[in-house]
Structure 1
Amino acid sequence: MTTVGVLALQGDVREHAAAITRLGAGVTLVRRPSELDAVDAIILPGGESTTIDKLLRAFELRQPLIDRIDAGLPVLGSCAGMILLATDLIDGIEGQQTLEAIPMTVRRNAFGRQVDSAEASLTWLPDGSPMSATFIRAPWVESYGAEVEVLATAVDAEGAEHAVAVQHGARLATAFHPEISDELRVHRRLLDLT
């Protein structure tokens, strides 16, 4: 059985674990390097990106996580997890570090403050089907490398289109929270990479 780790330092841990369980895979909550060693994929949940960054360092998980991702461990980052996977940040906090796993520039809190959180209807580009997405103080992708596949886009208040779901090899990232809706396509795509 495939075992998916959910980084359990802060954020939407239970919701991601429930989605993976619904798809029939095993779940391990990851707080230590030894737990990271036992998983076939990892999810970096939504939460507060600067807090997760600090906790990754405090729990001595940052470098082991980078090493596993670099070695091919499939990873999904949602919202704060997208920020953590970016190579570059706009509006990051001084000293904030990322895992530099996807060649993209991400703008933190691009959709606005907590009160600007909203549901949106997107098109899941791999098959052209509609997808409901929940954005909570969400980032968006400002730019990305040529090898990054855009899986979904959203339009901002000025009418500009931004990537909100991307894939780079075995690395997935969403600006929205697939774990808090009935939407399992993103988690299924992660499992397909194992």
Structure 2
Amino acid sequence: MSIGVLALQGSFNEHLAALRRIGVKGVEIRKPEQLQHVIALIIPGGESTTMAKLAECHNLFPALRDFVKTGKPVWGTCAGLIFLANKAVGQKSGGQDLVGGLDCTVHRNFFGSQLQSFETELSVPELVAKEGGPATFRCVFIRAPAILKAGPDVEVLADYPVPLEKLICSKSVDESQEEKLRSEEKVIIAVKQGNLLATAFHPELTADTRWHSFFLKMVGEAGDQKLNCISTTEGDLSDHQTPNDLPIFQ
């Protein structure tokens, strides 16, 4: 079995390249029936409204929701996080359909516009405990969402400190949340809940593949089906390389 990557729009090529670098075959998913042939799924970053419209056009939402309910691992990055959330705020007029399954409230564009995109080194103890390597991970935020509220079964893997005025001024923050935000002054940017993994940033845009390896361990824990592995030698990968194989941030 292979790992599927939703390939409607966004950084799906970068996820496929990252999977190849750790020796696992990824396949592009554009039709509902293709989900029957993958053991796990990555929903990449991109423009969430556009991705939702394309998913609706291809009648993918029912199949995606069923896939999540089967217990197979699903990882959403940036726009993929929005897709997996049970509730999204800060959306455009009319909103968008969600796949759901992740017990959280996400602010669709918490960190601002394209011009406010940024990179930062953040502590990720759970990732380091399982994958080793540096104590921090370089997180790339591009018009990124943030999780404002997570349910009791959601494991927080990473959070990000933000100015208090940013939290209080957010249109998504109601009075019941304000006291909690005043004491924490941070938002959640990576979580795990059962078979679901979500990150507000873009690990696929770095040379560091630890989040992809972390996800593979979730796949291994979910069942005994064998992953479709490929050789990671330079010769074997040369026929598959595209400009997107080169990580944007080293």
Instruction: Give the match for residue 142 of structure 1.
Output: 148
Report SS of the residue matched to 2:164.
Answer: coil
Instruction: Give the match for residue 114 of structure 1.
Output: 114
* More helix, by proportion: 2
Instruction: Give the match for residue 169 of structure 1.
Output: 194
- 1:147-166 to structure 2, matched below 5 A, reads 147-158=153-164, 160-166=185-191
Q: In the aligned structure 2, how far is the partner of 1:40 from the partner of 1:103?
A: 22
- C-alpha root-mean-square deviation of aligned residues, in Å? 1.3
**What is the one-letter code of the residue matched to 1:178?**
P
**What is the one-letter code of the residue matched to 2:215?**
L
Matched, 1:36 2:42: no
Instruction: Give the match for residue 104 of structure 1.
Output: 104
Deviations 1:85-108 (A, max 9, x none): 000111112141111110000001
Q: In the aligned structure 1, how far is the partner of 2:96 from the partner of 2:69?
A: 20
Q: In the aligned structure 2, how far is the partner of 1:72 from the partner of 1:37?
A: 13
Larger Rg: 2
Matched, 1:185 2:210: yes
Instruction: Give the match for residue 82 of structure 1.
Output: 81
User: What's the CA shift for 1:23?
Assistant: 1.2
TM-score, structure 1 normalization: 0.95
Q: Which stretches in structure 2 are left out of the alignment for 5+ residues?
A: 130-134, 166-184, 220-250
Deviations 1:20-58 (A, max 9, x none): 111111111000122111111101000011111111111
- 1:5-84 to structure 2, matched below 5 A, reads 5-84=4-83
User: Does the Cα contact within 8 Å between 1:105 and 1:143 map onto a contact in 2?
Assistant: yes
Q: Number of residues paired by the alignment?
A: 193
TM-score, structure 2 normalization: 0.75
User: What's the CA shift for 1:13?
Assistant: 0.9
Deviations 1:139-163 (A, max 9, x none): 0000010110011111123382111
User: What's the CA shift for 1:167?
Assistant: 0.4
Report SS of the residue matched to 1:35.
Answer: helix
Deviations 1:106-129 (A, max 9, x none): 001111110000001111131472
Q: Which one has more relative contact order, counting CA pairs under 8 Å at least 6 apart? A: 2
Report SS of the residue matched to 1:187.
Answer: helix
Q: Which stretches in structure 1 are left out of the alignment for 5+ residues?
A: none
- Divergent runs of 4+, >2 A: none
User: Does the Cα contact within 8 Å between 1:125 and 1:150 map onto a contact in 2?
Assistant: no
Instruction: Give the match for residue 136 of structure 2.
Output: 130
**What is the one-letter code of the residue matched to 1:117?**
S
* More strand, by proportion: 1
Greater shift in the superposed pair: 32-41 or 125-134: 125-134
User: Does the Cα contact within 8 Å between 1:28 and 1:35 map onto a contact in 2?
Assistant: no
Report SS of the residue matched to 2:163.
Answer: coil
